[in-house]
Amino acid sequence: MTTSTTANHYIVWLATLILGRDVSLAIAAIYYRYASLPSPKSLARYWNFSLPSAEVHPTDISKYNTFLQLVLIGGITLLPVAGTAADALLANISSGNVGIDGVMNAAQYLVAGTTVWSGASYLWTKDAVKILGPRSQEEKLRILSRGRVIIASCFVACGGIATLLEYR
């Protein structure tokens, strides 16, 4: 695979997975806001953020995932410029035949893994989302459960699309 082909290959399926996770979380956030908003519900009240209804806290793996995504984006951006020099450097460092494509492949799967882990962490981390306000514990759990179903459904669909793109 040439460097430009490698960079394009990363962009398609991995971007689908990363954006799919973010879209899943955004759709769930819209649901959490609406479902936990005190009555009466209206568009004006939905956008009135002085009415707190839910808190979302990033998980630790999400922070590491963001860092790794930025490192990978930087690496992909530098491939056309530094690809040949990096191949020569890697050939001198390692006794194997790793090359820049091998390093970038490992980096893409590491980012894919942390992206999946990050998306899944919002399903099981109890402190990631907190429903505020005077609601019963059962009602809060129902809202949280539905939000988790939204995250899981959207993220699995996007993960499936990303997998099809990777193995086409």
3-state secondary structure string, the chain? CCHHHHHHHHHHHHHHHHHHHHHHHHHHHHHHHHHHCCCCCCHHHHCCCCCCCEEECCCHHHHHHHHHHHHHHHHHHHHHHHHHHHHHHHHHHCCCCCHHHHHHHHHHHHHHHHHHHHHHHHHHCCCCEEECCCCCHHHHHHHHHHHHHHHHHHHHHHHHHHHHHHCC
* pLDDT at position 15 over 60: yes
pLDDT-based confidence at residue 1 (cuts at 50, 70, 90):
very low
Nearest to 72 by CA among 127, 114, 40, 43: 114
Whole-number average pLDDT of the chain: 85
Domain that holds residue 49: 3-166
Q: How many domains does the chain have?
A: 1
pTM for this one? 0.80
Point out the least confidently predicted range of 21-35, 95-109, 116-130: 95-109
Average pLDDT over residues 70-94: 70
- Note whether 162 and 12 are within 8 A (CB): no
